């Protein structure tokens, strides 16, 4: 039975959680249906977009250095009741996000294709994947700002706002994908394939961007005041980076490690790359609830830590951890028996389907570890103890997991089975280490924002 929350907290927690889950579900459904549409066009287009999105996600993680820092700082500021600080956080984070977005756009436009070439991928995957990255990359500027704004909106416990924005965004995305991927000859609209998928993605994200910006400006009255940048508020900027760099750094080192492992998979063969792309699209449903729990938990842990209520933070994390494990392991177990059936909706290739069925068995251990690391990792970051999660990720992934993946895949000759065992080991080891850290209570000394209602300063 899940550790109990108090009446008011339980009610507010689930009121926060359900819209968060709805938003995640819609995003997963869009990714699934888009992959399905691309799969109808062929395994290569579907695999190309899957690989391209892994590279794009690497850039998104860099943008999230600012958004995660802003979200953590804003949540703790709300808990500490420092109203004067919120305006500075909004202004500085949007300023930084805009700069990072412009830099990211330049880099992916000119270096996107060489990055794919370096990953030992099929030339056709490189061609289509680089086209997709080019179009999506042009709009990195707005996406980077959108990340920061949405995290600040969430910090006010306004997950319902994110859900409403996502509904309009994903409807536009899917509608355009259906039209532009296959074309409508009667209307003179050509079939654009992966470029059509890119256009649908761009339009959907622009709609979401406009929605959350409007909410932050009009409902929360946090319009950036760039006059606050003179003199530059170094204290706020340092705190955003102090929280955001290590919090996102763990995700960055994880993603880079995954890209290296993907290059190993590329050496196995195109079928393995496509199998991973399809399986990732399907398996994300198994940890959807855990992902939503982690987001809601981080918001409340940040607010509790800012208010100095560490006992409430512990209770909230314990409640979420129990639910996370249960709601992840059971779907993962079920997936073992249905993966080949679902896989046939994407492809008829027997080698791809067989590979997906094999890694589904190992994936239950991966998801069990992920269900713990999501909750505990996000809680540690929200408390201000993000450096620990960063160093844990660096040591485990680069000193152990990446070498293990190579040895099991090529030296032992286990191929994709060896790769998945290494990835599962990564999740389980990091989950165990971070759980011990949370139980130790050392995170309680890492609070970034403390109450100073009169000045709204960062202490």
Is 113 within a domain? yes
**pLDDT, tens only, 408-429:** 999 999 999 999 999 999 999 9
Is 423 within a domain? yes
pLDDT on residue 457: 44
Nearest Cα neighbor of 428 from 378, 368, 381 is: 368
pLDDT on residue 83: 66
**C-alpha 12 chain-centroid distance:** 24
> For the whole model, what pTM was predicted?
0.81
Is 450 within a domain? no
Structure token digits, residue 11: 């009610």
Q: Specify the DSSP class assigned to residue 443.
A: G
**pLDDT, tens only, 152-210:** 988 888 888 889 999 999 999 999 999 999 999 998 999 999 999 999 999 999 999 99
> Over pLDDT 90: what percentage of the chain?
64
Confidence grade of residue 369 (pLDDT, cut at 50, 70, 90): very high
The radius of gyration of the chain's CA atoms, rounded to the nearest angstrom, is: 22
- Calpha distance 449→459 (Å, rounded): 6
- Calpha distance 196→205 (Å, rounded): 14
By CB atoms closer than 10 A (0-12, 13-18, 19+), residue 413 is exposed
What is the number of structural domains in the chain? Answer: 1
- Calpha distance 41→183 (Å, rounded): 12
Is 420 within a domain? yes
Is 356 within a domain? yes
Range of the domain at 206: 7-445
Q: Are 343 and 400 in contact (CB under 8 A)?
A: no
Is 418 within a domain? yes
Is 381 within a domain? yes
**pLDDT, tens only, 345-356:** 889 999 999 999
Is 416 within a domain? yes
Q: Are 429 and 398 in contact (CB under 8 A)?
A: no
- Calpha distance 349→141 (Å, rounded): 39
SS3 316: helix
């Amino acid at each position: 039975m899940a550790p109990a929350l108090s009446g008011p907290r339980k009610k507010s927690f689930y009121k926060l959680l359900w819209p968060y889950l709805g938003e995640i579900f819609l995003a997963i459904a869009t990714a699934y249906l888009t992959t399905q549409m691309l799969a109808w066009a062929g395994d290569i287009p579907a695999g190309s977009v899957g690989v391209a999105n892994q590279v794009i996600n690497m850039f998104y993680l860099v943008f999230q250095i600012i958004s995660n820092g802003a979200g953590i700082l804003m949540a703790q500021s709300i808990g500490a009741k420092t109203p004067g600080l919120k305006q500075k956080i909004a202004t500085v984070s949007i300023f930084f996000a805009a700069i990072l977005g412009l830099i990211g756009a330049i880099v992916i436009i000119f270096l996107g294709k060489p990055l794919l070439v370096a990953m030992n991928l099929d030339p056709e995957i490189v061609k289509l994947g680089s086209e997709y990255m080019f179009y999506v990359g042009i709009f990195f500027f707005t996406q980077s700002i959108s990340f920061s704004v949405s995290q600040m909106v969430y910090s006010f416990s306004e997950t319902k706002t994110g859900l409403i924005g996502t509904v309009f965004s994903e409807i536009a995305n899917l509608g355009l994908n259906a039209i532009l991927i296959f074309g409508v000859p009667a209307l003179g609209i050509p079939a654009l394939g992966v470029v059509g998928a890119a256009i649908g993605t761009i339009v959907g994200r622009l709609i979401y961007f406009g929605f959350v910006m409007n909410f932050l400006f009009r409902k929360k009255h946090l319009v950036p005041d760039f006059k606050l940048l003179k003199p530059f508020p170094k204290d706020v900027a340092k705190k955003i980076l102090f929280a955001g760099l290590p919090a996102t750094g763990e995700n960055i080192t994880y993603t880079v490690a995954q890209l290296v492992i993907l290059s190993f998979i590329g050496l196995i063969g195109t079928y393995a790359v496509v199998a991973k792309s399809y399986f990732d699209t399907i398996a994300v449903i198994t940890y959807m609830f855990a992902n939503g729990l982690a987001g809601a938990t981080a918001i409340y842990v940040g607010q509790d830590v800012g208010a100095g209520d560490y006992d409430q933070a512990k209770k909230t994390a314990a409640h979420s951890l129990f639910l996370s494990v249960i709601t992840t392991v059971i779907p993962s177990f079920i997936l073992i028996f249905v993966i080949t059936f679902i896989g046939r909706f994407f492809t008829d290739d027997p080698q791809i389907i067989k590979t997906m069925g094999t890694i589904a068995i190992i994936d239950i251990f991966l998801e069990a570890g992920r269900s713990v690391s999501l909750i505990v990792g996000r809680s540690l970051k929200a408390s201000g103890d993000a450096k620990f999660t960063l160093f844990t990720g660096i040591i485990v992934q680069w000193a152990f997991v990446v070498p293990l993946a190579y040895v099991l895949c090529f030296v032992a000759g286990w191929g994709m089975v060896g790769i998945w065992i290494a990835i599962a080991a990564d999740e389980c080891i990091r989950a165990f280490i971070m759980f011990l850290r949370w139980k130790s209570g050392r995170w309680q000394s890492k609070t970034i924002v403390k109450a100073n209602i009169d000045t709204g300063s960062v202490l």
